Amino acid sequence: MKIAVVGTGYVGLVTGTCFAETGNDVTCVDIDRAKVEKLTNGQITIYEPGLEKLFVRNQREERLRFTTSLEDGVKDAMIIFLALPTPPGENGSADLTYVLGVAEDLGKIIKDYKVIVDKSTVPVGTAEKVHAAIARNCKTEFDVVSNPEFLREGVAVEDFMKPDRVVIGTSSERARKIMGDLYGPFVRQGNPVIFMDERSAELTKYAANSFLATKISFMNEIAQLCERLGADVDMVRRGIGSDERIGKRFLFPGIGYGGSCFPKDVKALVKSSKEVEYDFKILKSVMEVNESQKLSLLPKIRKYFGGNLKGKRFALWGLAFKPNTDDIREAPALDIIDALLSEGASICVYDPEAMNNVKNLLGEKVMYADNQYDCLQSADALIIATEWNEFRTPNFLKIVTALKNKVIFDGRNLFETDAIRELGFYYESIGREIAIPTNGIAHK
């Protein structure tokens, strides 16, 4: 099939490349000239495990092309995916300017039947708006389909090639058949393609992300309680996760969720609810808990240094909002950096993939190390903000040698508390204080 993907960011590039991998002829469109030039020259623009290999192969086989011209990109395509940004607008609702702007342009361009697919995460009712925006200038027949994307950054290729499910919202039999054929190769193991109406498909994506964010904030609150009651959140997590109704995944406490999706999608669902006069109380709390959790290491750091961080130097491991990505959007590490800088501390940072993105954002405000151990030189403490695998079993001798004090504040619970304290470290993590409760009050 001939496919166009409009918007060649995380979702667009993975979508385009994976559809090319199953033999489709794909053209990816983006307004960012530098990005299109790089991609055309065979340079990948995001870090995503496994993507580069597919990208190189499909470009070489001429099934994957890039252009800045919407008209050229879509002219031969039967299916046009919109993988455009939907950032939070000023009031928290999803900003549809990009999606509706392209829809308006498509109306002027398309000359024969097309299926236009919303892959961006968009509020309920957007398919109708996209339809109206195209129809304003369009004489030909077309269908608008909602096909939300559930890939996770860091495992995006795997998620796309073997999705747990594919959700397709359409009321058109013709579009249903085309979309079913397109996704056939991706669900050969029997995972479902779930057809539904457009509105339900749009809401499914928000419901999924909001539920996952809720799980995270819930566990972070349990972790807060553990610290106060002398319980160990790792034990509680294992204890509840073995109940199939709860499940083992997404129960790890930490310094909060970030990224380009959870924060904005939860906010947008709260806003959409408000518009229909529904007060989504749980989600409001989920956001509130997450904001405070991002800075939950700070009181522990302040306490250790007697309330004064001025002149202290910190090593920060991990900048990306999660491992295996270079994405730093809404990353908790950035909140920690802001807070430490505002209290007069200096910071040397290291991340395996996200350094360039942070350099572009923060410039000279922090120092950048070439590797995780250089980062530690003369630091008063190490702070861990992202659970990259290479941080899990580090060379502790090198850590001890480089750090000024044997102090670690771990926002991702990478180490066994007892083992690391045996090595002589002062170690604080999330929800795992060694505490002996007396009358319900925990002591260290």
Ligand X SMILES: NC(=O)c1ccc[n+]([C@@H]2O[C@H](COP(=O)([O-])OP(=O)(O)OC[C@H]3O[C@@H](n4cnc5c(N)ncnc54)[C@H](O)[C@@H]3O)[C@@H](O)[C@H]2O)c1
Catalytic residue, chosen from 28, 138, 226, 261, is 261
Residue 416 CA from chain centroid, whole number: 27
Cβ-Cβ contacts under 8 Å for 225 (sequence gap 6 or more): 231, 431
Closest listed residue to residue 149, CA positions, set 205, 212, 222? 205
For ligand X, the binding residues in 229-268 under the rule CB under 6 A are 260-261
Question: Among residues 268 and 403, whose Cβ is nearest to ligand X?
Answer: 268
Which two structure tokens, joined as six digits, stand for 266?
């939860």
Choices 29-37, 125-133, 295-303, 404-412; region in contact with ligand X by CB under 6 A: 29-37
Which two structure tokens, joined as six digits, stand for 102?
């392209």
At closest approach, how far in Å is the CB of 4 from ligand X? 10
Residue from the set 49, 50, 85, 230 that interacts with ligand X by CB under 6 A = 85
Question: Among residues 34 and 436, whose Cβ is nearest to ligand X?
Answer: 34
Binding to ligand X by residue 11, rule CB under 6 A? Answer: yes
Closest listed residue to residue 107, CA positions, set 61, 144, 160? 144
Handedness of CA 173, 2, 83, 131 (dihedral sign): negative
Binding to ligand X by residue 36, rule CB under 6 A? Answer: no
Which two structure tokens, joined as six digits, stand for 99?
């999606």
At closest approach, how far in Å is the CB of 9 from ligand X? 2
Contact call for residues 7 and 84 (beta carbons, < 8 A): yes
The sheet that has 381-384: what strands, in order across it?
A: 367-368, 346-350, 313-317, 381-384, 407-410, 426-428
For ligand X, the binding residues in 333-352 under the rule CB under 6 A are none
Q: Which residue is nearest to ligand X (CB)?
A: 9
Question: Among residues 14 and 355, whose Cβ is nearest to ligand X?
Answer: 14
Q: How many residues bind ligand X (CB under 6 A)?
A: 26
Question: Among residues 116 and 414, whose Cβ is nearest to ligand X?
Answer: 116
Residue from the set 10, 55, 321, 415 that interacts with ligand X by CB under 6 A = 10
Paired residues of 111 in beta bridges: none
Binding to ligand X by residue 121, rule CB under 6 A? Answer: yes
Dihedral, CA atoms, 46, 259, 315, 432, nearest 10 degrees?
A: -140
Question: Among residues 96 and 408, whose Cβ is nearest to ligand X?
Answer: 96
Handedness of CA 84, 88, 94, 100 (dihedral sign): negative
Residue from the set 24, 58, 86, 386 that interacts with ligand X by CB under 6 A = 86
At closest approach, how far in Å is the CB of 31 from ligand X? 4
Half-sphere exposure at residue 320, Cβ-oriented, CA atoms within 13 angstroms: 20
Q: Based on the number of CB atoms within 10 Å of its own CB, is 187 exposed (0-12), middle (13-18) or buried (19 or more)?
A: middle
Question: Among residues 213 and 309, whose Cβ is nearest to ligand X?
Answer: 213
Choices 98-106, 123-131, 195-203, 401-409; region in contact with ligand X by CB under 6 A: 98-106
Q: How far apart, in whole angstroms, are the C-alpha atoms of residue 124 and residue 107?
A: 21
Residue from the set 18, 54, 79, 102 that interacts with ligand X by CB under 6 A = 102
Binding to ligand X by residue 151, rule CB under 6 A? Answer: yes
Q: How far apart, in whole angstroms, are the C-alpha atoms of residue 216 and residue 430?
A: 13
Binding to ligand X by residue 98, rule CB under 6 A? Answer: yes
Question: Among residues 149 and 428, whose Cβ is nearest to ligand X?
Answer: 149
Binding to ligand X by residue 326, rule CB under 6 A? Answer: no
Helix (H) / strand (E) element for 234: namely helix 233-241
For ligand X, the binding residues in 55-84 under the rule CB under 6 A are 83-84
Which two structure tokens, joined as six digits, stand for 46?
């995001």
What is the residue whose two structure tokens read 């077309």?
A: 142
Residue from the set 143, 153, 202, 351 that interacts with ligand X by CB under 6 A = 153
The reply to whether 348 belongs to the active site is no
Binding to ligand X by residue 15, rule CB under 6 A? Answer: no
Cα angle at 420 between 415 and 423, to 5 degrees? Answer: 155
List interacting residues with ligand X (CB under 6 A).
6-12, 29-32, 35, 83-86, 98, 101-102, 120-121, 149, 151, 153, 260-261
Catalytic residues: 261
